[in-house]
């Protein structure tokens, strides 16, 4: 934090001066990019590894049928019906953990990033999401299915991390 020993006017003038340094387009962009890149990894871990929603609660659990596909635990190692009959079943090398982590092939979790097709820049920064529209549709469907905010809201820890990044950024600027 910035330590100020002065009267009110000097304090507010000091804060105003600090924010005018921050207000340059390059500095603001650097801060927003730092926040987005840091949060992308943290959110990927929360959702695709730990299986937690924005309230840090378990997203859900997979059905026994889905777990057979996920783990490859079929009675027959080969497909027994359909156009691929007789071919080997695909191995996903996933664990038997039944917590929902929005991942089977890892394609969705690998697609999660700072959206840079444009890049997508919102009025308050960069967007974190999926480059592939299908993955965004999956997320929307899963948030509706489980009636939870998964990636459309930050967790308390992610909000605190954002505040910490901003404070560190301001402190760095104040000492330079």
Q: Where does the pLDDT of residue 147 fall: very low under 50, low under 70, confident under 90, or very high at 90 and above?
A: very high
Higher-confidence position of 20 and 73: 73
pLDDT average, residue stretch 45-64 = 93
Q: How far apart are CA 47 and CA 24, in angstroms?
A: 34
SS3 61: strand
Going from N- to C-terminal start, the domains of the chain cover 23-60+101-176, 62-98
Mark out the alpha helices in the chain (DSSP H runs): 8-22, 25-48, 64-71, 107-111, 133-146, 156-175
Task: State residue 18's pLDDT score.
Answer: 59
The mean predicted confidence, pLDDT, of the chain is 79
What pLDDT digit, counting tens, does each position of 70-100 carry? 777 777 777 777 788 888 877 777 778 889 8
What pLDDT digit, counting tens, does each position of 96-124 carry? 888 988 887 788 889 988 876 544 556 65
> Per-residue pLDDT for 27 more than 60?
yes
Q: How far apart are CA 149 and CA 170, in angstroms?
A: 30
Helix (H) or strand (E) holding 129: strand 128-130
* pLDDT over 70, % of the chain: 81
Q: Where does the pLDDT of residue 61 fall: very low under 50, low under 70, confident under 90, or very high at 90 and above?
A: very high
> Per-residue pLDDT for 151 more than 60?
yes
pLDDT average, residue stretch 133-159 = 90
Task: State residue 117's pLDDT score.
Answer: 55
Task: State residue 7's pLDDT score.
Answer: 41
Q: How far apart are CA 103 and CA 85, in angstroms?
A: 25
Cβ-count burial 138-154 (b if 16+ within 10 Å, e if not): bbeebbeebebebbeeb
């Amino acid at each position: 934090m910035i330590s100020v020993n002065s009267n009110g006017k000097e304090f507010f003038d000091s804060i105003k001066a600090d924010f005018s340094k921050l207000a340059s387009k390059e500095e603001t962009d650097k801060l927003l990019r730092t926040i987005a890149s840091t949060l992308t990894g943290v959110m990927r871990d929360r959702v695709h590894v730990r299986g937690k929603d924005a309230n840090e609660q378990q997203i859900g659990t997979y059905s026994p049928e889905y777990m057979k596909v996920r783990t490859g635990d079929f009675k027959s190692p080969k497909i027994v019906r359909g156009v691929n009959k007789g071919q080997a079943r695909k191995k996903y090398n996933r664990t038997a953990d039944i917590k929902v982590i929005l991942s089977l092939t890892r394609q969705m979790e690998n697609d999660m990033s700072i959206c840079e097709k444009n890049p997508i820049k919102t009025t308050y920064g960069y967007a974190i999401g999926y480059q592939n529209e299908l993955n965004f549709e999956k997320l929307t469907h899963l948030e509706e299915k489980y009636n939870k905010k998964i990636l459309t809201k930050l967790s308390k820890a992610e909000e605190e991390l954002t505040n910490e990044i901003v404070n560190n950024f301001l402190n760095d600027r104040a000492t330079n």
